[in-house]
Structure 1
Amino acid sequence: MSCNDPIKNENARGIDVSRWQGDIDWTRVAAAGITHAIAKMTEGGDCTDPKFVTNFQGMQANGLKAGVYHYFRALSSTPCEQLTNIKGRLAEVAFNAKRDILVIDVETNRNEGASPDQMADALFQLVTLIRVSLLEGAYPHIYASPSIWSNRLAWRKYDFSECPLWIAHWEVAQPTVPETWSAKGKSWEWWQHSSKGQVDGIHGPVDLDWVKS
């Protein structure tokens, strides 16, 4: 490699979207070099993203590797209620458990009243329900930031390391992998590295991700 050669990033380019991105031109997104995308689907036991079906179908129609995410609520709804919500939305699209990924988004916003134990207990129940009922024994991905995962959730109570990691760590050269995974010799599969991306076909900022291919 010479000084004139471009630096190569071996990771694929991904984005994650929700209703906040408005109407997306997925043909232009694909032409811009984005190969992976995840759409918000559900939240808690009764909330759904109004753009989910359109976004998921747009991803698939334009050849992107598609995924869905569910925003986890520890207290406002039970894991069973959240599973029912997820199932209802997945029934509206051509989701394939062997091809498409399903992510549980773990954040503290709207979970402020939950203790670390309550966060871990409810999350483990939801992971188990999704694995058994929807993913034919496979584990859902987990999305979290290093600080929230390490400090706001009693992660030592259960083995979450089988869940592929989608790490949210912005403006760093390399993300911090929480001990849940690093102690088992595992790393991230998706890395959300920016919340301020610009992609053709999307008006305004969008989350950018690197995806290990």
Structure 2
Amino acid sequence: MNFKSFSAFVLAAASLVSASPIEKRSSIPGIDVSNWQGSINWSTVKANGAQFVYIKATEGTTYLDPNFSNNYVGATNAGIYRGGYHFAHPDVSSGATQANYFLAHGGGWSSDGRTLPGALDIEYNPSGATCYGLSASAMVSWIKDFSNTYYSKTGVYPGTSNDMIYTTTDWWQTCTGNSASFASTNPLWIARYSSSVGTLPAGWSYETFWQYADSGTNPGDQDIFNGDAAGLKRLSLG
């Protein structure tokens, strides 16, 4: 192979790598749960390999998950990293109002090495308009209001981020106009029930968590942390 053809080969190879980056994906499993799973044996969950859990704490400004405390204490006692999540209803109150409600009822964070940053579950409306009647710009403003409030009260800043954002690519594209405004400040928890994460929302080059199935060995939805054990520890330390 002469220099000219070798150079062409290198450029072609670089182009392929750029277009389809190789992902190093760990196999650290976890779950997310709510009261729908009922009573959970957390020792069994840990024995089955789960190393982290996100637990539903709140929804809107009127709902408290009745199993949050039991799940949180159970996961803690089993030695599982744990964090709370809030199911958003952008049509009923401001982002700040819902962030404060979440923080007051289980969504807090401390750098104890066991607590994951709180997560904002922002997705399809279960009982009305897909985008809750908000325009894309209004939705982006609502999410910023929630995130800024959460950060101001907790100071959680793992890397360059505050609360976790849970969503699907389809909803994000539809309801935020595929905003790239959060990729540098919020870790992404993507939901896609498939063999791969697929296309991510704009701005994010990788996901932190991937919810890949709604059932499995352990109760609840099945998740994977995109990193190693040391990375999961760093996330909990902020």
**Of 35, 43, 57, which aligns to 1:41?**
57
Matches of 2:209 and 2:57 in 1, distance apart? 18
Matches of 1:44 and 1:133 in 2, distance apart? 18
Higher mean alpha-carbon deviation, 143-152 vs 98-107, is at 98-107
Larger Rg: 2
**Of 131, 134, 139, which aligns to 2:154?**
134
Identity across matched positions, percent: 27
Q: Which runs of 5+ in 2 are unaligned?
A: 1-24, 229-238
Residue 8 of structure 2 aligns with which residue? none
**Of 25, 28, 32, which aligns to 2:48?**
32
Matches of 1:18 and 1:210 in 2, distance apart? 18
**Of 204, 213, 216, which aligns to 1:194?**
213
Task: After TM superposition, list the pairs within 5 Å mapping 1:49-88 onto structure 2.
Answer: 49-88=65-104
Residue 6 of structure 1 aligns with which residue? none
Matching of residue 96 in structure 1 with residue 119 in structure 2: no
**Of 38, 50, 68, which aligns to 1:22?**
38
Matches of 1:132 and 1:168 in 2, distance apart? 27
Structure number with the higher strand fraction is 1
Residue 145 of structure 1 aligns with which residue? 168
Matches of 1:175 and 1:64 in 2, distance apart? 28
In structure 2, the CA distance between the partners of 1:189 and 1:178, relative to structure 1 (3 Å rule), is: same
Residue 210 of structure 1 aligns with which residue? 224
- Report the count of equivalent residues: 194
The Cα of 1:133 is off from its aligned counterpart by: 1.0
Runs of 4+, deviation exceeding 6 Å: none
Q: Secondary structure at the match of 2:74?
A: helix
In structure 2, the CA distance between the partners of 1:97 and 1:73, relative to structure 1 (3 Å rule), is: farther
In structure 2, the CA distance between the partners of 1:155 and 1:55, relative to structure 1 (3 Å rule), is: same
Q: Write the letter of the residue equivalent to 2:106.
A: L
Matches of 1:172 and 1:152 in 2, distance apart? 25
The Cα of 1:86 is off from its aligned counterpart by: 1.3
Q: TM-score, normalised by structure 2?
A: 0.74
Q: Secondary structure at the match of 1:151?
A: helix
Contact map agreement 1:105 1:144 (CA 8 A) in 2:
yes
Residue 154 of structure 1 aligns with which residue? 177
Task: After TM superposition, list the pairs within 5 Å mapping 1:5-20 onto structure 2.
Answer: 10-20=26-36
Q: TM-score, normalised by structure 1?
A: 0.82
Matches of 1:107 and 1:156 in 2, distance apart? 14
Task: After TM superposition, list the pairs within 5 Å mapping 1:150-189 onto structure 2.
Answer: 150-156=173-179, 158-182=181-205, 187-189=206-208
Q: Write the letter of the residue equivalent to 1:162.
A: T
Contact map agreement 2:188 2:208 (CA 8 A) in 1:
yes
Residue 109 of structure 1 aligns with which residue? 125
Contact map agreement 2:197 2:210 (CA 8 A) in 1:
no
Q: Which runs of 5+ in 1 are unaligned?
A: 1-8
The Cα of 1:83 is off from its aligned counterpart by: 2.4
Structure number with the higher helix fraction is 2
Q: Secondary structure at the match of 2:71?
A: helix
